[in-house]
Amino acid sequence: MPTTQTATAADGTAIEYERHGDGQPLIMLHGGMAPREYWRPVIPHFEEFGAVVPQRPGFGTCLDSLDETGPDEVLAREVEYVRALVDAVDDADTGDADDGDPILFGHSFGALTAIETARALSADGERAVEAVAAYEPAILPEAFAEHADLADRMQERLDAGDREGSMKRYVEQVIHAGEVDDLDAWLADWPVWPECVDLLEEVIRMNRAVERYELPDRLDVEVPTLVLTGTEGPQFLRDSARDAHDALPHSRLVDFDGVSHSGPSEAPERVADEVEAFLAGR
């Protein structure tokens, strides 16, 4: 059974997380949907690790507008939360002393956060994490970002009182790349629908941060990084995965045939096998 624990960020924010088992900490950072539930299918495939699944502070709540909380601050704050979590699970590790430093495994916005956390640690001369695995980090190619307005379109529907319609637009455009035949039928079988509609304000907030993020020519991350993508997800995210791979100095890229943006929950065994193989061979 998982245990629930709490870490405290530098700003005093409490970060609640679940710890599943012992072993080297594997910190799983969710994206825009179903914070803890997202990782349920993949956790059993990491028996040799101590899976750490945080509930990001403020997730799903109505936050201030980005006029007051800019997108750069949004991501910087997420990075600080993860750094606090890294310190907490490393200090409290109950496994073997030789388990090693924590590993970051992120999906979508969580993947971007994982990369930026490792980048911040590298800039500070720290090697507090051992490796990073990033499934389709939420980065927009430059040409795509110039015309990206998903956050605005979602906000318009929210302002009109159509919460479900706003979240449907996100699911359709990000998870299905606008190519799903019957979205309502698909949603009827999706375990996190419609509860995930409660997360709408936070999803819009993250989309604004993503739309304004600029990928540097080089991501100075000094630990091995595995970048994952799938053939059935949005093309812009596949392109971005390759762009991130090219910008990372110690990176490996894996492309899953027939898998969408929801890879870790959609094909958990395949994704876990690649992550474990990478960690074993790093």
Q: Return d(Cα 186, Cα 23) in angstroms, integer.
A: 37
The answer to whether residue 227 sits within a structural domain is yes
pLDDT tier for residue 61 given thresholds of 50, 70 and 90: very low
Look at 195 and 86; give whichever has higher pLDDT: 86
Structural domain span for residue 249? 3-141+215-281
What is the pLDDT at residue 195?
84
pLDDT over 90 at 36, yes or no: no
The answer to whether residue 201 sits within a structural domain is no
pLDDT tens sequence across 122-158: 988 877 899 999 999 999 988 787 778 999 999 999 9
Q: What is the pTM of this model?
A: 0.89
pLDDT tens sequence across 1-33: 788 888 888 888 888 899 998 899 999 998 876
pLDDT tens sequence across 221-242: 999 999 999 998 888 899 999 9
Helix (H) or strand (E) holding 134: strand 131-135
Q: Return d(Cα 197, Cα 255) in angstroms, integer.
A: 30
Specify the residue for token string 């159509």: 162
What is the pLDDT at residue 102?
96
Look at 195 and 169; give whichever has higher pLDDT: 169
What is the pLDDT at residue 127?
73
pLDDT over 50 at 62, yes or no: no
Are 132 and 102 in contact, with CB atoms under 8 Å apart? no
What is the pLDDT at residue 161?
97
The answer to whether residue 228 sits within a structural domain is yes
DSSP 191: T
Look at 66 and 180; give whichever has higher pLDDT: 180
What is the pLDDT at residue 25?
96
The answer to whether residue 270 sits within a structural domain is yes
How far lies 84's CA from each of 98, 117, 173, 198, 251, in Å? 21, 10, 33, 26, 25
pLDDT over 70 at 60, yes or no: no
What is the pLDDT at residue 59?
56
Mean pLDDT score across all residues of the chain: 87
Q: How many domains does the chain have?
A: 1
The answer to whether residue 159 sits within a structural domain is no
For residue 107, the domain's CATH number is 3.40.50.1820
DSSP 3-state of 219: coil
What is the pLDDT at residue 155?
95
The answer to whether residue 150 sits within a structural domain is no
Which of 43, 44, 76 is CA-nearest to residue 213?
76
Q: What percent of the chain has pLDDT over 70?
A: 89
The answer to whether residue 190 sits within a structural domain is no
pLDDT tier for residue 267 given thresholds of 50, 70 and 90: very high
The answer to whether residue 118 sits within a structural domain is yes
Mean pLDDT of 101-114: 95
pLDDT tens sequence across 64-100: 433 445 556 778 888 999 999 999 997 665 544 457 8
Mean pLDDT of 176-190: 84
